Chain A
Amino acid sequence: MSHVILNPRLAPPFPKAAIPILRNAQLRTNVAHATQVIQNKRAKLVAEKTDWQELRTAAAAIRDHALDNLGSYLEEFETRCTAAGGVVHWAWDAAEARATILNILCEEQASEVIKIKTMTSAEIELNPALEAAGIHAIETDLAELILQLGDDEPSHIVVPALHVNRSQVREIFARRMGLDDLTDNPQALTAAARDYLRRKFLSVPTAISGANFLVAETGSVVIVESEGNGRMCLTLPRTMITLVGIEKVLPRFRDLEVMLQLLARSATGERMSPYTSVWTGVKPGDGPQRFHVVLLDNGRSPMLARTRERQTLRCIRCAACQNVCPVYQQTGGHAYGSVYGGPIGAILTPQLMHMEYAQSLPYASSLCGACYEVCPVKINIPEVLIDLRAKVVDQDRRRASRLTDPMYLGMRAASGAFSSARRYRASQRLARMALRPFTGKDGWIRSLPNLGSRWTMTRDLRGMPDRTFREWWAKRGKAAQ
């Protein structure tokens, strides 16, 4: 599984990465099953919520307001968190965030660190940096543990090991935990993970987490989780480090009344996740006595400057768009070459990469719009995808390679054809002539060369009829006169 590359700088383009996955029947079955189960649960709980659309509207407005005033709210958070005994760090990019965290761990003389599932830490590739510094990171979320022990990478934002099935988990746990007689019963597998991690929770003095939300008004951090590994990590250690994207801030405590109603229903199809924890700085006698927050930019603030794309930052990482996406359902997350897969990853990743990498991702969508429909904060993902495609094409326009790109040339030629009815009619005649040699006696085309072969590899194409509609109409007009 180590062939999976989630670094957008190194990953192959989406269409290429998808091919081996499409051949992996087991993975596709696992992904299809899991996304179907979550979708069904979500649909049931959303249906019982009579004010779902009003909640979405409120959530979008709250998130937009927070982004519109991001600087004020981050400073307010910093002031309150600091007053409560926390230490706030700011990191411009992934390297600075890693260095900040490593510095803290050095001061703590940490050799091990327990981690709550955080996609942000995967985004900055924290674990390899920790290992290089001789610090062993222990993932405590069950899915993350499966991936860590299986030397695999996350394929989903909420259920990162959803591409792995029970027998695969059994094999990984049996091998890595030395449990030869382990069965593939999920109950037994979960119990094995509990035993494996219990000692670590009670002994490792340093923890790293992400955060679902920051609250500016109170300086609080909010984590939503199911297993209790989060509570363990943010209660038992001496020192806690929270790594969080700057966009995660909410103005007021009460804004959680909207977000918490939407998040679990969208993410896991539950009314509330089993545990939601809120903490504020340090409380003497209760929980970690040293608390650090690392506020990560890493490409986020430039996104704010772009009118349509900035809505990407509303995201609360529920992954509902992944579950509903017909493309993600075929490929799972690994094909996206980023820790953020699916529709949200297709718009987030290239932007975090300053549009220098992952240019194939905005095209990894049929624009069916199912993602927008389920998004709890109403991110119009198709709109952003189309905008990002325009950015990719604008890059192409400056490249010499465009002159050998059949898609580029075809689109330019079509644009010329559509610019006048005369040229358009001429193009229609030309197309009819060009297609004739490929058209069979029954009027169908089974094989086309070049770009056309991408269509005919699985689909026939009905040949061009002898008469266009406009030719028919013109003739009909004459006949009537």
Chain B
Amino acid sequence: MSASVSSRTIILERIRIANKVSTVDAYRELPRNYILSGSLDEPARVGLMMERLREYGAEVAECVPEQLGAAIAAQLAFSGRHNFAAPADISPAWLVPGFKWTLDSALATDEIEHQDGVLTSAFAGVADSGTIVLHHSGGEGRRVLSLLPDWHLCILRISRIVETLPEYFHLCSQPPALAPALATFISGPSATADIEMTRIKGVHGPRSLSVILVHDHNQHEAGEIPSPTDTGRRP
């Protein structure tokens, strides 16, 4: 350990000598003339999200909140699978009858591995890249839960869909969200192009991804996304 301490000292000293003065305060003045906020209205934003998800080969369905249970049931049935895992904190209404549900709070890895699929919610969606972001609390489940089962059904409320990546980060700068300790950005099912740059869907992560977009505009519980205060260049 003493060697490590001295390396710390040496490295920081070498850096200090090279850099001389601190300019940490200049952070606020860094140029950020890229696009911060998107320009699409909600239908276009949702349309873009769907288009991007489908480009990745993900299944996409839409519904209104009242039909969510039916939409989940339809997706589960369509998947042809039976055993599903879900986070213990998930909305009970989502655990539709007719399927075997295993709720996770501290399931062993093996038990999760043997599930046919998993149902979670999402923290946010980014339309520009068709990205779903999980912060792994509440209905979003532990990281392992959305990793091992081969099929992932994710519920995304459209009030949580932003157009650009900077808008997601803005969301994370607004209490109570703040920067998450854990986050997984999912942009389509796992894939590789390591063999002759041929894109192959489904390597180690879930090979199939399905997303249900819930039109929740008037839902109070959803919590509207605060609009970014920064003024960015618009396209």
User: Contact residues of A with B, CB < 8 Å?
Assistant: 30, 33-34, 37-38, 50-51, 54-55, 57-58, 61-62, 65, 67-72, 74-75, 84, 89-92, 96, 100, 140-143, 146, 159, 161-162, 165-166, 169, 186-187, 189-190, 193-194, 197-198, 201-202, 215, 217-218, 220, 226-229, 231-232, 235-236, 246, 251-254, 256-258, 260-261, 268, 270-281, 283, 285-287, 295, 297, 301-302, 304-305, 310
* A84 contact from B7, B131, B181, Cβ within 8 A: B181
A278 touching B182 in the complex, CB below 8 Å, given contacts A30-B196, A226-B190: yes
Contact (Cβ within 8 A) B195 A190: yes
Contacts of B160-206 to chain A: CB distance below 8 A = 165-166, 168-170, 172-173, 179-198, 200, 202-206
Contacts of A89 in B (CB 8 A): 4
A92 touching B197 in the complex, CB below 8 Å, given contacts A227-B203, A274-B190: no
Contacts of B143 in A (CB 8 A): 231, 235, 277, 286-287
A194 touching B35 in the complex, CB below 8 Å, given contacts A84-B181, A92-B10, A286-B144: no
* B187 contact from A61, A256, A272, Cβ within 8 A: A272
Contact (Cβ within 8 A) B182 A304: no
Q: Smallest Cβ distance from B163 to chain A, in angstroms?
A: 13
Contact (Cβ within 8 A) B197 A34: yes
Contacts of A69 in B (CB 8 A): 19, 22-24
5 pairs of A and B residues whose beta carbons are closest in the complex: A228-B205, A228-B204, A304-B18, A228-B190, A276-B185
Q: Is B128 an interface residue (CB 8 A)?
A: yes
Q: Smallest Cβ distance from B6 to chain A, in angstroms?
A: 8
Q: Mark B11-23, 1 if CB is under 8 A from A, else 0.
A: 1101111110011
**Of B90-98, B105-113, B212-220, the one with at least 4 CB within 8 A of chain A:** B105-113
Q: Smallest Cβ distance from A185 to chain B, in angstroms?
A: 9
Contact (Cβ within 8 A) B34 A55: yes
Contact (Cβ within 8 A) A226 B193: yes
A272 touching B182 in the complex, CB below 8 Å, given contacts A228-B190, A257-B165, A304-B15: no
Q: Is B136 an interface residue (CB 8 A)?
A: yes
Contacts of B15 in A (CB 8 A): 70-71, 74, 246, 301, 304
Q: Is B80 an interface residue (CB 8 A)?
A: no
Q: Smallest Cβ distance from A417 to chain B, in angstroms?
A: 40
Contact (Cβ within 8 A) A278 B183: yes
Closest partner residue, chain A, to B130 (CB atom)? A271
Contact (Cβ within 8 A) B18 A301: yes
Contact (Cβ within 8 A) A254 B194: no
Contact (Cβ within 8 A) B181 A279: yes
**Known A228-B147, A274-B186; 14 more pairs at CB < 8 Å:** A54-B34, A61-B30, A72-B24, A146-B194, A162-B197, A186-B200, A228-B205, A231-B147, A246-B11, A271-B128, A274-B205, A280-B181, A283-B136, A286-B182
* B194 contact from A159, A246, A273, Cβ within 8 A: A159
- A232 and B165 alpha carbons, distance in the complex (Å): 25
Closest partner residue, chain A, to B143 (CB atom)? A235
Q: Smallest Cβ distance from B144 to chain A, in angstroms?
A: 5
- A452 and B206 alpha carbons, distance in the complex (Å): 60
Contact (Cβ within 8 A) B183 A277: yes
Contacts of A68 in B (CB 8 A): 19, 23, 26
Contact (Cβ within 8 A) B190 A142: no
Q: Smallest Cβ distance from A231 to chain B, in angstroms?
A: 5
Contacts of B10 in A (CB 8 A): 92
Closest partner residue, chain B, to A278 (CB atom)? B183
* B144 contact from A38, A92, A287, Cβ within 8 A: A287
For B131, B136, B192, B206, which residue has the most chain A Cβ atoms within 10 angstroms? B192
- A304 and B20 alpha carbons, distance in the complex (Å): 11
* B30 contact from A33, A62, A71, A271, Cβ within 8 A: A62
- A459 and B40 alpha carbons, distance in the complex (Å): 57
Contacts of B124-167 to chain A: CB distance below 8 A = 126, 128-131, 136, 142-144, 147, 165-166
* A256 contact from B11, B169, B184, B191, Cβ within 8 A: B169
Contacts of B106 in A (CB 8 A): 285
- A356 and B109 alpha carbons, distance in the complex (Å): 49
Contacts of A260 in B (CB 8 A): 165, 185
Q: Is B81 an interface residue (CB 8 A)?
A: no
Q: Smallest Cβ distance from A396 to chain B, in angstroms?
A: 26
A274 touching B188 in the complex, CB below 8 Å, given contacts A227-B205, A231-B147: yes
- A258 and B145 alpha carbons, distance in the complex (Å): 29
A51 touching B131 in the complex, CB below 8 Å, given contacts A58-B30, A271-B52: no
* B166 contact from A169, A226, A257, Cβ within 8 A: A257
Closest partner residue, chain A, to B30 (CB atom)? A61
Q: Smallest Cβ distance from B99 to chain A, in angstroms?
A: 24
Q: Is B78 an interface residue (CB 8 A)?
A: no
- A231 and B142 alpha carbons, distance in the complex (Å): 12
- A477 and B217 alpha carbons, distance in the complex (Å): 84
- A37 and B193 alpha carbons, distance in the complex (Å): 10
Contacts of A271 in B (CB 8 A): 52, 128-131, 187
Closest partner residue, chain B, to A90 (CB atom)? B8
- A57 and B35 alpha carbons, distance in the complex (Å): 13
Closest partner residue, chain B, to A232 (CB atom)? B204
Q: Smallest Cβ distance from B19 to chain A, in angstroms?
A: 6
A72 touching B204 in the complex, CB below 8 Å, given contacts A271-B52, A283-B182: no
Q: Smallest Cβ distance from B33 to chain A, in angstroms?
A: 4
Contact (Cβ within 8 A) A75 B11: no
Q: Smallest Cβ distance from B15 to chain A, in angstroms?
A: 4
Q: Is B226 an interface residue (CB 8 A)?
A: no
Closest partner residue, chain B, to A303 (CB atom)? B18
Contact (Cβ within 8 A) B196 A186: yes
Q: Is B31 an interface residue (CB 8 A)?
A: yes
- A220 and B169 alpha carbons, distance in the complex (Å): 15
Q: Smallest Cβ distance from A147 to chain B, in angstroms?
A: 10
Q: Smallest Cβ distance from B29 to chain A, in angstroms?
A: 9
Contact (Cβ within 8 A) A54 B52: no
Q: Smallest Cβ distance from B62 to chain A, in angstroms?
A: 21
Contacts of A218 in B (CB 8 A): 179, 181
Contact (Cβ within 8 A) B192 A275: no
- A197 and B205 alpha carbons, distance in the complex (Å): 12
Contacts of B202 in A (CB 8 A): 190, 194
Contact (Cβ within 8 A) A57 B27: no
Closest partner residue, chain A, to B189 (CB atom)? A274
Contacts of B195 in A (CB 8 A): 142, 146, 161, 165-166, 169, 186, 189-190
Q: Is B235 an interface residue (CB 8 A)?
A: yes
Closest partner residue, chain B, to A270 (CB atom)? B187
A90 touching B186 in the complex, CB below 8 Å, given contacts A218-B179, A254-B169: no
